[in-house]
Chains A and B, each alone.
Chain A
């Protein structure tokens, strides 16, 4: 490796640096149309749904000078939940919930939208998924990387919820829906859903060694140092 930096190498580096923040954001474009009062109905609905689940967008709105309407709790997840319900049998999950803090300074967040007893809401870190819940998953991440979501049954069996196609790669984004989702059924004992954001793919069997659950009180411990952020959600009857 040469010690000196030459012009072509410098040009490549500078081009990469200068282009590093340039992504056009269609959702912000819709939001801008709303702010400017020229939005189509589709844009208005998309933005209202996004604002309800995306605190960053809500903040951007305020900072950018928009009036502060009441937060609408309409869900963009409706279509996903409907799709999940249509699939029916995937019946994944299955109480108390626990948030494991991100291990670094990145912005990785898995959001869980839930429909329960006719009510739709975003699952708080202190809440658990319950039997009969319909749910959809969304992520927000500032960096590209990988996201793996697994279900651990009371018997210790692991099911990969995401990715469905083996490709765990994610792009930076806010409130990006995942195809994973479904209806919680047949909960037996101590079950968990665990999500892990990582810079590199995490093999499914790695979760088997990383997850420890105390049978007595269903306490979960997760040792996954390669993950940059994790979230674990209890699934209860």
Chain B
């Protein structure tokens, strides 16, 4: 399949083209991210995320199909580069801002929840996070997730179910901890 045809099919949301592009370009995306972040799960995950975004959101916005691979390399380089820089800066400025327990506004609460979600996601396997991205970013059905991430419909369905349960428990636990802490502070 030539690039122009592949681009057209990606633009139409063709599942087979998405799977083909995923398989053919995952090594490219991971190579770029590993070059910046070093080999490991973190680099691979950045690559996975960039590739998902590319296939399901960016590809159809590119004017030139011939530029697809180069664009993918560039967004991988950018994301991996930003993570590397952020890690260096975090190492310098590691003190998080204080959180005002009683006066958290809704937006702050949301930010707090996102922060907790990020923590909880770290406890999952890279595969589980990939499946979540394909589900919530790309909005794929179970079958198509299985084609890209690898696995039968039953396996993906079970993995999603387990992952949701783990995240609910983790987030609920963190919320209960905070409420308990607030209660202790108010009475203490």
Contact = CB atoms under 8 A, between A and B. Distances in A.
Contact of A105 (B92, B117, B164): B92
B130 to A, nearest CB: 11
Given A3-B176, A18-B132, A64-B32, A142 B66 contact: no
A59 B74 contact: no
Interface in A117-164: 142
A63 B78 CA distance: 9
Nearest to B174: A5
Contacts of B6: none
A142 B89 CA distance: 13
A38 B7 CA distance: 15
A210 interface: no
B93 A35 contact: no
Nearest to A66: B70
Contacts of B167: 5, 10, 14
B117 A17 contact: yes
Interface residues of B, number: 52
Contact of A35 (B74, B75, B76, B168): B74
A32 B74 contact: yes
B93 A36 contact: no
A105 B90 contact: yes
A16 B112 CA distance: 13
Interface residues of A, number: 41
Contacts of A18: 132-133, 135-137
The secondary structure that dominates the B interface is helix
Given A17-B136, A64-B77, A38 B67 contact: yes
A21 B49 contact: yes
A10 B118 CA distance: 12
B66 A38 contact: yes
A17 B43 CA distance: 18
A44 B9 CA distance: 27
B114 A13 contact: yes
B77 A29 contact: no
Nearest to B132: A14
B114 A17 contact: yes
A105 B179 contact: no
B46 to A, nearest CB: 9
B30 interface: no
A60 B70 contact: no
B77 A35 contact: no
Most B Cβ at <10 Å: residue of A15, A22, A38: A22
Given A10-B164, A59-B77, A4 B70 contact: no
B47 to A, nearest CB: 12
Interface of B: 32, 35-36, 49-50, 53, 57-58, 61-64, 66-71, 73-82, 85-86, 89-90, 92-93, 113-114, 117-118, 121, 132-133, 135-137, 164, 167-168, 171-172, 175-176, 179
Given A28-B71, A33-B64, 13 more contacts: A5-B175, A15-B136, A25-B75, A29-B71, A31-B74, A32-B68, A35-B74, A36-B67, A39-B64, A56-B82, A63-B36, A64-B32, A64-B76
23 contacts: A3-B172, A3-B176, A4-B168, A7-B168, A10-B164, A13-B113, A13-B114, A13-B117, A13-B171, A14-B136, A17-B118, A22-B58, A29-B61, A32-B74, A35-B73, A36-B69, A38-B64, A38-B66, A39-B64, A59-B81, A60-B77, A64-B74, A142-B86
Interface of A: 1, 3-7, 10-11, 13-19, 21-22, 24-25, 28-29, 31-33, 35-39, 56, 59-61, 63-65, 104-107, 142
